[in-house]
Amino acid sequence: MSEDQEAQEDELLALASIYDEEEFHRAKSAQGGEIQLCLELPPSFKLIVDGNKQTEYDISFLPPLVLNFELPADYPSSSSPVYTLSSKWLSRDQMTSLCKRLDGLWEENQGCVVLFTWIQFLKEEAFAFLDVKSPLEVVKGGNAPVEWKRSEAGVKRAGSLTGEKDKLEPLLELDPRAVLVVDPRTDILPQLLDFDEAQRQKVFDAKAFCCGICFMEKLGSGCLCFKECQHVYCKTCMTEYFQIQIRDGNVQCLNCPEPKCTSLATPSQVKLLVGEELFARYDRLLLQSSLDLMADVVYCPRQSCCQAVMVEPDTTMGICPACQYAFCTLCKRGYHGLSHCKVTADELRGLRDEYISASAEGKKFMEQRFGKRVIQRAVEESFSRDWLNENCKGCPRCGTNIQKVDGCNKMTCTSCKQYFCWLCLGQLTRVNPYSHFNNPSSPCFNHMGKLPVPAR
């Protein structure tokens, strides 16, 4: 084996020992391979989406630079590696600059293996070399990176994926080894955010966390992290918690168990932990609860239907799209046009309290809905009922309301003429009604002339 072949083999074996299979893939048919290089981002690195209103995204990872290389037979003694450099988020003028720098590093180290030097430069120094700074600007909606000429001070526009046409001129000579792997017709932002999310999850899965419920330490791959608050619990505890809440119908309460924390689990997180049957129930109840909060959505009052019905503004008529039932959206009975909603006896009892506690606007609405006379009758009857409850007692035989003004506690019903005791409401014999007050075993013994007790 020649010295060049031996140096190449040693270099490829060294790369395979340093980087895992996802980062470095050695070619089978030639002396070469592919290495993916994730650049180290500065802390608190952000993406800015340009538009009518700028939106910022915190990111920790960007898609890797991909270095494909093949080693000539006379490398490293004479020739440099043959390579291409590709990226999803750098422009070709930026990658052209990187290619020129890689060539410069080869010239500085000619005669020695150079792949590891290239890799270290790309991973650790590329950001500074290109002057890439936070925030990185992207244009939403199908604008791919555009190539622009480097300024006199160097590559100063690298903080943007779009460039500034009024300040920079297109680069005329681009290095053919610089390859763009993005479709100009696609939106690059989702690709960047998806990659960042996937890498964050990969890092999370490898860490160990202590569950705040069972207090057992588990790897992130066996845990659930709430997106908003970043609180972490094991999947076993959260699965049981979600299942109980969904069975009870509390689909709006799948929040973080941390006290006073309001972060909610996302539907994708719920789907990951519960079975298909429970998730279908969760999905259905979540939709229903969302519809319940919409002012222009009501449900068909027919028990056999219950279809959601969209209601036009400023109208009280709803027409079910399923069964074609036309109904009043206020009282849920058949549509009655401009006539007032009918009130049952049971509803009339609670109408007064609702009317008295309502605001001026609420009282006006109730008067329009039920009619002023109905509201007035409800108030009068309710006040009468309260007065009777406070000042009268019902006859134990026929139930007629009796008021005691004065006299003894032996009462006579004005309706059925039954004698009864005002204190205990016991029925008295017609032969000797006073024996009830003279009998020592009676609860009202010697109380015939006492003042009446409050009505029950």
Pair 289, 251: CB distance under 8 Å = yes
Helix (H, G, I), strand (E, B) or coil at 268: helix
Residues contacting 53, CB < 8 A, separation 6+: none
The bridge status of strand 82-87 relative to strand 178-180 is parallel
Residue among 84, 81, 80, 39 nearest 62 (CA): 39
Radius of gyration of the chain (CA): 41
Pair 298, 307: CB distance under 8 Å = no
Write the CA distances from 77 to 80, 81, 430, 431, integer angstroms. 9, 11, 133, 136
Active site residue 214: no
Prior bond to 190 cis, omega within 30?
no
Separation of alpha carbons 236 and 217, rounded Å: 12
Kindly name the residue from 408, 413, 416, 444 that is annotated as catalytic.
408
Calculate ∠ Cα 380-383-384, nearest 5°: 85
Listed in order, strand segments (DSSP E) in 63-154 are 65-70, 82-87, 136-139
Write the CA distances from 270 to 116, 229, 289, integer angstroms. 44, 17, 17
DSSP 342: P
Pair 393, 401: CB distance under 8 Å = yes
Could you give the residue numbers annotated as active site?
408
